[in-house]
Chains A and B, each alone.
Chain A
């Protein structure tokens, strides 16, 4: 075999192997960032959530599993946040209006979970809801009870929190939908309450 032919053969193999690798590394050229990969994976295979102990903003202790049997919209926040969490807080207040009926019927609940439990005690969590003119129904805030629960929580939901270098945090802010079986089924962008409301209505009708 001439060296030209060998080179050609090897190059064909390299291109095929490289294409396959790139295809696998990007979920079939559909997800180029970690966040889009997370969303794709959740939509394709709903993720069962583990038992998680939380302290609600009324001081009581709850388990994430207590919400089974109804739909749950979850977002992750820290009350000191001046940017993304304010968007999320506004979203939840809007969703209270847009999804008033299922919320009133107890088919749906809104839950904001703090990933800064050392700072965000129940009183601060209540103040956080009030800041966004909480309509007073169907929305509660909570914090994980200890560092281990926080780690389980961020792992289960795929939440990434990094320090912003100015005492605050940057995180992949989003609104997540948990179905009545306690599985994470969908993820939405922050700042688009209308889209979330529409999608949740669809899910409720299914």
Chain B
């Protein structure tokens, strides 16, 4: 099937890109600032995880679906795995300690990007809404924290960098808000759920 071959090719590219991102020159570039690490490197790794997930064999996908009703498990795993990366010391440790770097380069694609991508189609209207609101709230919370913290929270990064990241997070939160509002006002929704999760629904 050409669609599957396409997904496999994309997964191969994703895997290669993760390895490339882990090479010293690219690592140094993207970890040179807190803003780049948090807003470029980490999201990129998560996105590549989503590409990897698309190549999952159909049989394994069905088996996983039985443990992921309504996309709950995938969303929960992705959220829980993302939580430690909100701690300033995790951003520091990923730069200073090789084992934390390894956890980042393997964990962010496989525990955040992949489960989220697998579960999103299974998630219903309400869960998606909750996720979107929480994403906006997280951007605002973290952005505000980084903007007002009187001292640099990371030992590897300067306070100006931290403030810039705070501004970016607020801007992203605002953009998400606007996009959601647009979708709510003008978009179309299937409020019955996604249709991809029919098994034992009445």
Residues of A104-134 at the interface with B, using a CB-CB cut-off of 8 Å, are: none
Classify chain B: how many residues form its interface, as a range.
20 to 34
Quick check: is A82 within 8 A (CB to CB) of the other chain?
A: no
Residues of B79-115 at the interface with A, using a CB-CB cut-off of 8 Å, are: 80-81, 83-84, 87-90, 92-93, 96
Classify chain A: how many residues form its interface, as a range.
20 to 34
Bound form: Cα–Cα A37–B70 in Å: 39
Cβ-defined contact, A25 with B87, below 8 A = yes
- For the complex, would chain A's binding face be called helix, strand, loop or mixed by DSSP majority? helix
Shortest beta-carbon distance, B173 to chain A, in Å?
A: 21
Cβ-defined contact, A18 with B83, below 8 A = yes
Shortest beta-carbon distance, B99 to chain A, in Å?
A: 13
Shortest beta-carbon distance, A191 to chain B, in Å?
A: 11
Q: Which residues of A contact B (CB under 8 A)?
A: 2-4, 6-7, 10-11, 14-15, 17-18, 21-22, 25-26, 31-37, 160, 162, 164-165, 170, 172
- For the complex, would chain B's binding face be called helix, strand, loop or mixed by DSSP majority? helix
Stretch at the interface among B8-16, B39-47, B152-160: B152-160
Q: Which residues of B contact A (CB under 8 A)?
A: 65-70, 72-73, 76-77, 80-81, 83-84, 87-90, 92-93, 96, 152-158, 199-200
14 additional contacts (CB under 8 A) given A4-B200, A33-B153, A34-B92: A6-B66, A6-B67, A10-B67, A11-B72, A14-B73, A15-B80, A18-B80, A18-B81, A18-B83, A22-B83, A25-B89, A32-B87, A165-B158, A170-B152
Shortest beta-carbon distance, B141 to chain A, in Å?
A: 13
Bound form: Cα–Cα A35–B65 in Å: 42
Which partner residue on chain B sits nearest A24 by CB separation?
Answer: B84
Bound form: Cα–Cα A164–B156 in Å: 11
Shortest beta-carbon distance, B39 to chain A, in Å?
A: 19
Which partner residue on chain A sits nearest B93 by CB separation?
Answer: A34
Which of B69, B81, B90, B152 lies in contact with A3, CB distance below 8 A? Answer: B69
Highest count of chain B CB atoms <10 Å: which of A14, A17, A37, A172: A14
Bound form: Cα–Cα A3–B81 in Å: 23
